[in-house]
Amino acid sequence: MIILPVSGLLVMPDVTYYFQNDYIEKYMQGEPAEGAEVLFLLMKNEKRLRDMLPEDFWPVGVTGTVTEIDSEDHSVSIHTGRRVNVEVMRLEEGTLDAACTPREEIEDLDAESRAKVFREVQTALLQYVGSFQWGIVARNYILRWKTMEEMAAGLSYQLNMTEEEKYRIVAADRISERYQRIKEAVYEFIEVSKVSADAEKAQTESNEKLYREEAIKKQIAILQKELDDMHPESVTDVRKFEMKIRDSGMNETARREAEKVLNRMKQEGENSHEYGMLYDYLDFVTDLSWKKEGAVQIDLDETEKILDEDHYGLKKIKERIIQQLAAMKLKNRQSGSILLFVGPPGTGKTSIGQSIARALGRKYVRISLGGIRDEAEIRGHRRTYIGAMPGRIMEGIRRSGVSNPVMVLDEVDKLTKAFDGDPSSALLEALDPEQNSTFTDHYMNVPYDLSDVLFICTANTTDTIPEPLLNRMEEISFRGYTETEKLEIARRHLLPKAMDQAGLRKEELEIPDEILRKIIEDYTAEAGVRGLKKRLDAVCRSAAVRLVKGAGELPICVKEEELSVFFDAQPLYHEKLLTPDRPGIVTGLAWTQGGGEILFIETMFTKGKGECVITGQLGDVMKESAQIAVSLVKDLFPDQEELFENNDLHIHVPAGAVPKDGPSAGITLTTALASLVTGRIVNPKYAMTGEVSLKGRLMPIGGLPEKLMAAARAGVKKVFIPKENVRDLSEVPQEIRDQLKIVPVQKVMEVLEKTGILEKGKKKET
């Protein structure tokens, strides 16, 4: 008996099967012969002969007989007989052997019932295959089947059944049960095939639609390109951005991002709610200048000429700018530190940046940073946010239209830190020459090279600038202008501009120098010239009214008594030197954002219990200076201890409504208290500035040029300054130094002696 293991094939009784010779020969010695007995063993899973084990077979098999051998087709026909129970199975030396017994069949369906079930299932199959083109071929096979067994055998490999489910059909003893299982399997096959066919059809239709859509889009793109070439004025947005991206000179990272956004823009279409956001992004990045600008030859002589034309004075500042430009000329690229111009308002910090741009032949961009507290204002918003915008730096680059503008960052000291970020930290990357070649704005999300940008920062003070940011910049101080310098600036720059804005010609208005000086002294109180410009504008407007009305003769000459009418204001009040009428009052010097000012330290003893009262809105630093001054005076004059114990000490710094603070009033407070204790009056034409220590030493202070200019303006004749500040005198205009006698001192005792409070030889060593 030939034993044939089968897997996947549904072997049914009374059915003819066809096998290739090589399949049969694997399990027998020699060629098969007609009439040979065969036993089909049903495998649980397909395996190679050498790997088969008895437990890999189901316990029910089917017998068969070789009915025909076709030598031409090398095929064997086997007609199955009945089912058997496999009792014993052996596998020895590559040969299978088995012992089996017949399995009972329960004939619970007559021939007519069998035929009825078969016709029902056959009809369902014929209806199913009729809807397909290949149904004609399948119909011929279906019509050849005469029994349910032949149908099950023919559909063995199409039925969606496991090996166990196929075995249950073979193992069913009742004919009715076997037919029911076959019927259910065929109907399941039909329904699954229908669903698969519908899904395949839908997928095919979807693919065809996509292919058709892509083909149409390509045709439209080709036609649109031809139309754009013929009518450039009516280019579509997509085509416009394609051309701008191609010609922009972007780096590879930026190009990929732009093309990605452009493809999304194509897919979304003009009616999409994201179309506007995508359009704005592409419009921004393609408007930027990505190409390196060619090097422009720097003419230092021409630069000096331009700086002198635009600004009077500022000699040291101009020299530092020339040094920076000389280094750039030698290296033929952006070089040097980030310049930080620090000084009072109206001293020319911003406008000199414009002059630098003109001298270099570059575009000029000014960005005001005052009041910014959101980091996104510097680095931009991410595009996922509604209303996202680029940062101010990249917006400035776009406005300039070049990659190497002169960019003035105004009011760096006015940046504020809030819960939503620190904008000063965002400036670090932009201003650091080692990092800004790959500056990444959050809105753009691609790197941009800022290394060719000449950054210039301005500030009124460095106190509020964070140290990491300040370290990246080189501080250049702008002192206030002297009255002579203001007069020259007014005559050369401010007055001609004011007349031009008012529509006045040179021969129509005359303002004598004494009137200009009167305006500077009595109607402005500033270190810069911004207020002076406003006053001259007011004079020119008033003159324009007279000219239009035809009142008076030409040229219109401005008189001193008319100034209060022009300005609708009385002359400003300036602190005047006091009359030396009592001790305890000393003239001090202070620095403000508007320039230097003089102030008076007033002291007085009143009946009391030794308390100290300090008034005048003094800050913590000045209050500490007052305490140090009291301790020093008590130590210098121990014989006056009862005076402090039996009286209250009142220290006042006018004006009381103006907040005052700073580490430079220590010597003034000490001298005022010493004057009060000794009863010796200090000449009010003596002024002083400097902080003191408990050892009686004078420590250096800042803002010396502004303080000395304030002293000269007030009529002070002698000024005491810390000895370590002598090096700062080079920044003081010669005009001011000529008006004052400047006395450097190192100890408090020197000041007390030189002011006449103590006599030489009677001083107390400290």
Distance between CA atoms of residues 597 and 583, nearest Å: 22
97 three-class SS: strand
Tokens at 560, concatenated: 């001193």
Distance between CA atoms of residues 95 and 633, nearest Å: 124
Distance between CA atoms of residues 275 and 292, nearest Å: 31
The phi and psi torsions of 741 (rounded to 5 degrees) equal -100, 110
Tell me if the bond preceding 555 is cis, omega within 30° of 0. Answer: yes
Distance between CA atoms of residues 175 and 179, nearest Å: 6
Describe the crossing of helices 349-360 and 315-331 by its angle, rounded to 10 degrees. Answer: 30
Strand partners, 652: 602, 615
> Which residue do the tokens 């600008």 mark?
293
In contact, 300 and 326? CB cutoff 8 Å: yes
Q: Could you list the beta-strand ranges (E) of 608-722.
A: 612-615, 647-652, 686-688, 691-692, 698-699, 718-722
Tell which residue, 288, 46, 7, 381, has the closest CA to residue 170.
7
Residues designated as active site: 664, 707
What lies within 8 Å, CB to CB, of 493 at 6+ separation is 310, 312
617 three-class SS: coil
98 three-class SS: strand
What lies within 8 Å, CB to CB, of 687 at 6+ separation is 587, 588, 589, 598, 711, 714, 716, 718, 719, 720
Strand partners, 6: 42
3-state secondary structure 292-356: CCCCCCCCHHHHHHHHHHHCCCCHHHHHHHHHHHHHHHHHCCCCCCEEEEECCCCCCHHHHHHHH
Q: How far is CA 538 from CA 30, 556, 594, 742, in A?
A: 126, 14, 21, 38
Tell which residue, 387, 407, 388, has the closest CA to residue 397.
407
The phi and psi torsions of 669 (rounded to 5 degrees) equal -65, -45
Tell which residue, 545, 548, 543, has the closest CA to residue 506.
543
Distance between CA atoms of residues 115 and 34, nearest Å: 31
Handedness of CA 567, 570, 571, 572 (dihedral sign): negative
DSSP state, residue 640: G
717 three-class SS: coil
Distance between first and last Cα of the chain: 131
Tell which residue, 740, 765, 742, has the closest CA to residue 753.
765
Distance between CA atoms of residues 526 and 482, nearest Å: 10
Distance between CA atoms of residues 260 and 264, nearest Å: 6
What lies within 8 Å, CB to CB, of 506 at 6+ separation is 499
How many CA within 13 A on the CB side of residue 557? 5
Distance between CA atoms of residues 116 and 136, nearest Å: 24
To which H or E segment does residue 209 belong? Answer: helix 175-230
